[in-house]
């Protein structure tokens, strides 16, 4: 069964909280977030914010995973911790499907557009080994297997049995109308460790998978359409000037260097979140809203 069919069959979460409780949940949640934010970056502040965000989310969505687990409307009492997360994101890229499929099918390319993926090692025609950023500074590794491969149209994969982050994923390449290029749709179905709670906390702390995939797809589009990934890396007055960076003798100097080293994206280590390479990003991370996608955008 194609993953898309599986996604549609999985259905949506339903509402299981009454109107008054939802309103209360939002009000109390918002208050907790506010109190948490006021405590700044302390652990207690972050926990308060997280709890507040959870209550707010619960109120706005009208769905409480705990209730679902308790009243049996979810498959079992453990569903709070093992529930499946579904993600589907799409982007339209002005390049032919063959080219986009070709880039993606060569799995070793993917870290170029997915900064959280450290490395993909192709083991054979079907199998690959993945190493991605985990919580904190850790990394997570697994093997994946391509389970369906229709040239220029569709690739589906699944993690091998026995790992703690089980998932199935697929990418679909479909012609957009007239001259609009190719629609690339990525779908993921996975069971995160800790289920809904972990997924929600990930979302609170800016690791929402839908947002991450959307940004991956944006970088993929940039690379395919322009040959590079856009960055605002550049100077600002937020970073001290070191003597090496500016020529102090004459600031009006004509600067005619010969030619510069070509930047080869192929050999570059992909930028990783948290790398202190962009002063703008660096400073942005210091202040909210940061240039890290916010959880509420997912």
Residue 131: name the closest of 148, 103, 157, 108 by CA: 108
Question: Is residue 245 a contact point for another protein (CB under 8 A)?
Answer: yes
Strand (E) or helix (H) holding 127: strand 127-133
Gap between the Cα atoms of 188 and 14, Å rounded: 20
Ramachandran quadrant class, 227 (left: phi over 0; alpha: psi -120 to 50; beta: rest): left
Residues present in the chain in total: 298
- Which string of x and - marks every residue 197-236 that binds another protein (by CB under 8 A)? --------------x--xx--x--xx--xxxxxxxxxxxx
Question: Is residue 62 a contact point for another protein (CB under 8 A)?
Answer: no
289 prior amide bond cis, ω within 30: yes
Query: SS3 of 89, please?
Result: strand
Question: Is residue 60 a contact point for another protein (CB under 8 A)?
Answer: no
CA distances from 260 to 242, 244, 248, 250, 257 (A): 21, 17, 21, 22, 8
Question: Is residue 266 a contact point for another protein (CB under 8 A)?
Answer: no
Gap between the Cα atoms of 223 and 65, Å rounded: 39
When the beta carbons of 126 and 180 are compared against another protein, the nearer one is: 180
> From the CB of 180, what's the least distance to another protein, in Å?
6
> From the CB of 266, what's the least distance to another protein, in Å?
11
Can you tell me which of 41, 161, 242, 267 binds another protein, judged by CB under 8 A?
Answer: 242
The answer to whether the CB of 91 falls within 8 A of the CB of 215 is no
When the beta carbons of 90 and 283 are compared against another protein, the nearer one is: 283
Question: Is residue 260 a contact point for another protein (CB under 8 A)?
Answer: yes
Question: Is residue 90 a contact point for another protein (CB under 8 A)?
Answer: no
Question: Is residue 241 a contact point for another protein (CB under 8 A)?
Answer: yes
**Stretch touching another protein by CB under 8 A, among 26-34, 124-132, 200-208, 261-269:** 261-269
> From the CB of 276, what's the least distance to another protein, in Å?
14
Question: Is residue 237 a contact point for another protein (CB under 8 A)?
Answer: yes
Gap between the Cα atoms of 200 and 57, Å rounded: 9
* Rg value, the chain, Cα: 22
Can you tell me which of 41, 267, 287, 288 binds another protein, judged by CB under 8 A?
Answer: 287
Which stretches of the chain bind another protein, using CB under 8 A?
92, 94, 179-181, 211, 214-215, 218, 221-222, 225-239, 241-242, 245-247, 251-252, 254-257, 259-260, 262-265, 279-280, 283-284, 287, 289, 291, 293-294, 297
């Amino acid at each position: 069964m194609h993953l898309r069919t599986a996604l549609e069959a999985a259905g949506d979460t339903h509402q299981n909280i009454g109107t008054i409780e939802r309103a209360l949940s939002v009000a109390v949640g918002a208050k907790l977030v506010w109190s948490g934010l006021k405590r700044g970056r302390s652990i207690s502040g972050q926990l308060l914010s997280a709890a507040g965000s959870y209550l707010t989310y619960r109120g706005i969505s009208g769905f409480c995973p705990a209730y679902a687990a308790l009243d049996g409307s979810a498959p079992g009492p453990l569903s709070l911790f093992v529930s499946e997360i579904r993600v589907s994101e799409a982007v339209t890229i002005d390049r032919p499907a063959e080219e986009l499929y070709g880039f993606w099918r060569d799995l070793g390319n993917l870290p170029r557009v997915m900064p959280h993926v450290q490395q993909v090692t192709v083991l054979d025609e079907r199998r690959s080994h993945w190493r991605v950023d985990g919580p904190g500074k850790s990394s997570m590794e697994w093997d994946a297997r391509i389970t369906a491969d229709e040239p220029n149209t569709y690739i589906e994969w699944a993690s091998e049995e026995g790992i703690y982050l089980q998932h199935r994923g697929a990418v679909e390449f479909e012609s957009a109308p007239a001259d609009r290029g190719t629609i690339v749709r990525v779908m993921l179905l996975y069971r995160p460790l800790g289920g809904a709670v972990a997924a929600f906390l990930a979302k609170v702390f800016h690791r929402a998978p839908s947002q991450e995939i959307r940004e991956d797809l944006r970088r993929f589009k940039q690379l395919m359409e322009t040959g590079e990934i856009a960055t605002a890396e550049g100077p600002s007055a937020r970073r001290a000037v070191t003597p090496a960076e500016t020529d102090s003798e004459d600031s009006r100097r004509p600067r005619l260097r010969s030619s510069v080293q070509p930047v080869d994206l192929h050999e570059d280590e992909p930028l990783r979140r948290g790398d202190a390479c962009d002063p703008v990003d660096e400073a942005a991370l210091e202040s909210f809203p940061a240039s890290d996608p916010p959880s509420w955008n997912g």
